[in-house]
Amino acid sequence: MTEQNPTGLRADELIRLSAAQLAEKLAAGEVTSVQATQAYLDRIAQVDGGERGVNAFLHVNAEEALAVAAEVDAIRAAGGAEAEALHVLAGVPIAVKDLIVTIGQPTTAGSKILEGWHSPYDATVVERLRAAKMPILGKTNLDEFAMGSSTEHSAYGPTRNPWDLDRIPGGSGGGSAAAVAAFEAPLALGTDTGGSIRQPGAVTGTVGVKPTYGSISRYGAIAMASSLDQIGPVTRTVLDSALLHQVIGGHDPRDSTSLPEPLADLVAAARTGNVEGLRIGIIKELHGEGYQAGVENRFNDALELLKEAGAEIVEVSCPNFQYALGAYYLIMPSEASSNLAKFDGVRYGLRVLPEDGPMTIERVMGATRAAGFGDEVKRRIILGTYALSAGYYDAYYGSAQKVRTLVQRDFDAAFTVADVLISPTAPTTAFRLGEKLDDPLAMYLNDVATIPANLAGVPGLSLPGGLADEDGLPVGIQLLAPAREDARLYRVGAVLESLLEAKWGGPLLAQAPDLAASAPLETQEAK
Amino acid sequence: MSTDHILSFEEAMEKYDPVLGFEVHVELNTKTKMFSSAPNVFGDEPNTNVNEVDLGMPGVLPVVNKAAIESSIKIGLALNCKIAESCRFARKNYFYPDTPKNFQTSQYDEPIAYDGYLDIELSDGTVFRVEIERAHMEEDAGKLTHMGGATGRIQGADFSLVDYNRAGVPLVEIVTKPIEGAGSRAPELAKAYVAAVREIVKNLGVSDAKMERGNVRCDANVSLRPHGRERFGIRSETKNVNSLRAVEHAVRYEIQRHAAVLEAGEPVVQETRHWHEDTRTTTSGRAKSDADDYRYFPEPDLVPVVPSREWVEELRAALPEPPAERRKRLKADWGYSDLEFRDVVNAGVLDEIEETIAAGASASVARKWWMGEIVGRAKAADVDPGQLGVQPATIVELAGMVEAGKINNKMASQVLDGVLAGEGTPEEIVEKRGLAVVSDDGPLLEAIDAALAAQPDVADKIRGGKVQAIGAIVGGVMKATRGQADAGRVRELILEKLGVTV
C-alpha cells in the first residue's frame, strides 16, 4: 500500500499506530476513520487468509465497519456539539472474539454447532462499542467455546502465531491476540476463563487484561464457566487496554454478577507514570521449576527494572496455588457441562437427525451434539457431568470449591504484604501447532499461572516482557491486583512497559517478522 | 385405560394407614417472568411473550424478579415458615425440550422459606396440622403439545409443539413433610389442604390461583403402611392433579390401588402416575427413584438472595388476615348456622356479604339478597357473583324500601333487574316502572269485589270455613293490580269482607 493520507502516513504505518495514537490523529483530523478502517481491512485481506494466513478472523464485517467509520468522519467534519461529544475511541476499529454475540454478524463460538447462527441481540459490551462508534472489523477465531490454550480446537481451523506461523497463538483467544499482533486490528475483545486473554497475549507479544470478575458485563458472552468467565481488552499497549476497558466496563443490570460501583479512572492510572514505593510481590509458586529458562530470564529482567524504578520487590507464598489447576478443571467443566446443555438442535443452530432408528427427541439431541461438538468440548462436558453426579459432587465439585476459597485466602494474605503480584504469564513461549494437541494435560498446564486469578476473581494483566533467548519468541509478564483494584495493574503495567520499550528502543512487536513480505497479496481475499 | 386391581376404600383402611405428601406449584402473577423482562401473561399467541433469555439463546443471563421474591416471602409467611436470611438458586439439569436451557433454575438446598405449617379444618370440625417442609422459588417450563398419537403424550406422538410463553413464569413450590395419621380422612384432607393453599395465595394476591389454568398444580404422594408400623411404604407420585375434586379422588384411588398391590404381596413401584379425570384412575408414568440425578449445583449466574429482616417484618405486618381465621370470625359475628355459612362460602360471596353488612345491611338481609337473588343471576350469566356489579349500597337501599313497605319483595327483585340493566338507582326505577305497593284500600276493595264476583263458588268455600281457598281470590286481586298490592293487606280485606275470622 502506498496511498497517502493527509499526514503522509502510509497504510502500513497507520496500522502500526496504537489505538491511543490513532484516536489522537482522528481527533486532529490528520487521518479519517474510513482510511484507518480500510487500512485494517486491507491488512486482513493481505495476511489473514490462504494456506499460511494468520486465520485470526472467522468473519470480516467490512461493510458495517466502513459505514460506522464514515458516520464518525461525517460527524467530525460537521463539527459542533456532536463532534465534541464523540467518544475518545470513536472511529477506532476493533475486532470481537467470536464468543461474544453481535447483531448483523454470525456468532459461532468456534463451533460447528452454531455455524450460521445469527444472534438476535447484541452483547452489552458490543452495545457499548456501538455507542462509542467504534467500527467492528469482524469476529475472531477461538478454541471451540473457548476451551483450549492454542486455538487449535476451533472448528474453523487454527490461528497461526504472527511471530512464527508454525506456532500456536495461545488460546482460547488466539484469534484476538493474533489479529492485534499482526496489525489486523488495533484493539480486540477477548474472554478469559482460565487465561484465554492473558496467555495468548503472552505468546503473541501483546497486552491482555482479565478485569476483576464483575467489572465488565458478561451479558452476551457465550458462557463456558459462568463463575470464571470475564470479558477483557486485547491490545498492543497498556494504555490502549485501559481506554478499551473504560468503554466496555461498568455496571450492567442484565448481569446479576456485575459490580454495582462505577469504574475507577483506569486511563488516568495508566498515565500515572511511577511505581515508587509500591510493593510488588513475586509469587514463589509461580516461577522457577517448570518454567522455560528464557521465560524466567525475562521475568527477572522485569523485576530488575521495577526495582530500579523504585518499587519494592517482596516474595510471597501462595501454597494453595498448587491445587488451583486441579480445582479449575473440576469447576470449569462442571459449569460448562450445564452451560452447554442448551445446544441441542431444538431452538437454533445445527440440527442433526439420527441416521437410523427411531426419531425421538433424545436421539435428535444426541446426534446433534455428537456431530456439533468437537473432542475437547465433549471431554469437558463428560468431565463436568461426572463431577456433578450424585455421589461424586462432594468429592469433586465440593472439594474444588473449597480449594477455590483457599486460593482466595492465599491472595488475601499476599495482598497484605504486596500491592501488586507478579509472575510469568505462561510457563513457556508459543509451542508448535499440533505439539500438545494429543496431550490434554500438557495443554492444560499452560494455564497454571493464569488460573488462580479466575478462581479468586482478581484482575490480571499480561504485557510483553521481551523475547526468550533460546527461541526468540515473546514472553509475557503477568501482574495481579486485588479485586476492584484494576487501576493498579494499569499503573504498574504502563510503567513497566515504558521501561522495557526504552530498553528495546520501541515496541516489542516492531521486532516481529514482516508478514506482508511473506504473504503474496494476490492470494489473499477478504473472507 | 387402567387395568389396576383395587380394593375398596374401606378394605384398604382396615389394614393400612396412608401417608401423604404434597408438592403444590403456585404460579405467581408478577408482571414479568422470574428471570427475564418478558411479560407473564396467560393465553397469548404461542411464543410471543418471550425474549432471548426465555429462549435460552447463547450468551444470555438471568436476573431475579424482585416482585417474585416478595410474593414468595409472603407465601412463606402465610404458611408460618421461617424466611431464609440468605438463599441461592441452583440448576436442576435435565434434557427436555420444554426447558430452553436444558436446566431449570430452581432452589435446591437453600429454599427461601422453610419449617412452616398450615392448620386444615375438616368437615367434622377437627383441625389437622400439615407441616410444611419448604417453599422454594423456581421457573416454570414451556408447554408441550404432542401432535398425533393416541394418548396426547410424547410417546407415540408424530411431533410436538412447544410454547415458551410459560417458560420462566415464576413458581413457588410448596412441599409438605410426610402427613401421617389422617386415616380414612386422607382424601378429604388432601382436598382441603390444596384448597387452603389455593385460598391463601389468592388472598395474598400473589397468584390468580385458577387451577383450571394451571396456576395451582398439585403432585400428590401416597404410600401405605400396615397399621402400627413406623416405617413408610414405597410411595407413588401422581402428577398434575389439577382440580380440588381430582386431588381427593386421586388420593383415594391411589390408596385403593396400593392396598391391592400390597394385599397381593407385591412391591409398590416407586414411580410417577398420571391422573385421568374421565376414568378417575391413574396410570403408570415413568419410574422414579431417589437416585434421579439432576446434578444440582449453585446457579453461578445469580448472586444469593438476601432478604433483609426489616423487609420481611414489613411484609409480615402487611399480611392479610388468614382466610380460615377470618371465616371463623365472620361466622361468629354474623350468627349464621353451619349450613348457611358453608353455602355462603361455597357460593363465593363472603367478601360481598361482608361489604354489604358494612354498608348497613343486617347479616340476614345481606345473606338473603346475595344467596336468594344474586347468586342465581350470576349462575345464569355464567360469571362470579361479585362480577355482576351489584353495589352493597344498592342492596341496602332495596332492603330499606321493602322494610318501609314501599315495595314488596317481588318488586324489589324487579328493581334489582332494573339496576343490573342499567336503568338507574332503585329509587329511579321504582318511579320509572311505576312500582309501589298499593296501600290505599279503595282501589283494593274494588278489585276484591270484582274478584269475588268472578269466582262466587270460591267465595262460598271461604265463607264455609275453607280459608285456604283464599289464594285464588288473592291471586285475582294481585293480577288486577299488576302485583302492586300488598298481598297481606289483600288477604285481610277479603276475610273482613266475607266476615270470616281466622
Residue A103 corresponds to which amino acid?
A: I
pLDDT recorded at residue B60? 98
Domain assignments of chain B as residue spans, ordered by start: 9-315, 321-433, 441-498
Q: Cell numbers at residue B356, please?
A: 354489604
> Of A210, A150, A200, which is closest to residue A439 (Cα–Cα)?
A150
State the alpha helices, DSSP H only, in A92-185.
Answer: 124-131, 174-181
Domain assignments of chain A as residue spans, ordered by start: 16-319+412-523
In three-state form (DSSP H/G/I as H, E/B as E, the rest C), the secondary structure along B283-326 is EEEEECCCCCCCCCEECCCCCCECCCHHHHHHHHHCCCCCHHHH
Distance from CA of A22 to the nearest CA of B (A): 32
Whether residue A5 has pLDDT greater than 70: no
pLDDT recorded at residue A6? 62
Q: B137: burial class by Cβ within 10 Å (0-12, 13-18, 19+)?
A: buried
Strands (E), B108-199: 113-121, 127-139, 143-147, 159-163, 170-176
Distances (CA, A) of B440 to A368, B293, B471, B499: 92, 86, 21, 21
Q: What is the separation of C-alpha B244 from the centre of its chain, rounded to a whole number of angstroms? A: 8
pLDDT recorded at residue B154? 72
- Check CB contact under 8 Å for B300 and A117: no
Catalytic hit among A25, A97, A112, A139? A97
Of B61, B101, B162, the CB nearest to A341: B101
Distance from CA of A193 to the nearest CA of B (A): 14
Distance from CA of B52 to the nearest CA of A (A): 8
Whether residue A522 has pLDDT greater than 50: no
User: Over its length of 502 residues, how does chain B's per-residue pLDDT go in tens digits?
Assistant: 456 889 999 999 999 999 999 999 999 999 999 999 999 999 899 999 999 999 999 999 999 999 999 999 999 999 999 999 999 999 999 999 999 999 999 999 999 999 999 999 888 778 999 999 999 999 999 999 988 877 777 777 888 899 999 999 999 999 999 999 999 999 999 999 999 999 999 999 999 999 988 999 999 999 999 999 999 999 999 998 989 999 999 999 999 999 999 999 999 999 999 999 889 999 998 766 555 799 999 999 999 999 999 999 999 999 999 988 898 899 999 999 988 998 898 888 988 999 999 999 999 999 999 999 999 998 888 888 888 888 999 999 999 988 887 888 888 888 999 998 888 888 888 888 877 776 677 778 888 888 888 888 888 888 888 888 888 888 888 888 888 888 888 888 888 888 777 6
Q: Cell numbers at residue A8, please?
A: 503522509
Whether residue A520 has pLDDT greater than 60: no
Question: How far is residue A293's CA from residue A427's CA, in Å, rounded to a whole number?
Answer: 9
B232-255: string of b/e by CB count within 10 Å (b at 16+)? Answer: ebebbbbbebbbbebbbbbbbbbb
CB A345 within 8 A of CB B144: no
Q: Which residue has the cell 393400612?
A: B16
Of B64, B93, B302, the CB nearest to A338: B93
Chain B contact for A333 (CB, 8 A cutoff):
no
Confidence of residue A185 (pLDDT cuts 50, 70, 90): very high
Of B52, B97, B302, the CB nearest to A256: B302
Question: How far is residue A92's CA from residue A33's CA, in Å, rounded to a whole number?
Answer: 7
Chain B contact for A253 (CB, 8 A cutoff):
yes
pLDDT recorded at residue A518? 61
- What class, spelled out in words, does domain B441-498 have in CATH? mainly alpha
pLDDT recorded at residue B502? 65
Listing DSSP states for A396-461 in one string gives: IIIHHHHHHHHHHHHHHHHHHH-SEEEEESSSSSPPBTTSSTT-HHHHHGGGTTTHHHHHHT--EE
| B interface test, pick of A332, A339, A362 with most B CB neighbours within 10 Å | A339
pLDDT recorded at residue B445? 83
Measured between CA atoms, the residue of chain B closest to residue A122 is B59
- Check CB contact under 8 Å for B59 and A222: yes
Chain B contact for A358 (CB, 8 A cutoff):
no
Of A253, A338, A343, the CB nearest to B91: A338
> Of A452, A429, A420, A211, which is closest to residue A306 (Cα–Cα)?
A420
Distances (CA, A) of A258 to A262, A409, B32: 11, 22, 21
CB B137 within 8 A of CB B171: yes
Measured between CA atoms, the residue of chain A closest to residue B98 is A346
Interface A-B, measured as beta-carbon pairs within 8 A, has a size of: 101
- Check CB contact under 8 Å for B97 and A388: no
Whether residue A120 has pLDDT greater than 60: yes
**List of chain A residues whose C-beta atoms are within 8 Å of the C-beta of residue B55:** 347-348
Whether residue A523 has pLDDT greater than 60: no
Measured between CA atoms, the residue of chain B closest to residue A117 is B58
pLDDT recorded at residue A527? 41
For A288-339, write each residue's pLDDT tens digit.
889 999 999 999 999 999 999 999 999 999 999 999 999 999 999 999 999 9
| B interface test, pick of A219, A338, A389 with most B CB neighbours within 10 Å | A338
In this prediction the ipTM stands at 0.95
Question: How far is residue A109's CA from residue A376's CA, in Å, rounded to a whole number?
Answer: 14
Measured between CA atoms, the residue of chain A closest to residue B161 is A346
- Check CB contact under 8 Å for B59 and A253: no
State the alpha helices, DSSP H only, in A205-254.
Answer: 238-248
Question: How far is residue A15's CA from residue A31's CA, in Å, rounded to a whole number?
Answer: 12
Question: How far is residue B27's CA from residue B210's CA, in Å, rounded to a whole number?
Answer: 9
| A interface test, pick of B295, B299, B305 with most A CB neighbours within 10 Å | B295
Question: How far is residue B239's CA from residue B273's CA, in Å, rounded to a whole number?
Answer: 6
pLDDT recorded at residue A1? 42
Q: Which CATH number fits domain A16-319+412-523: 3.40.50.300, 3.90.1300.10, 3.40.710.10, 3.10.250.10?
A: 3.90.1300.10
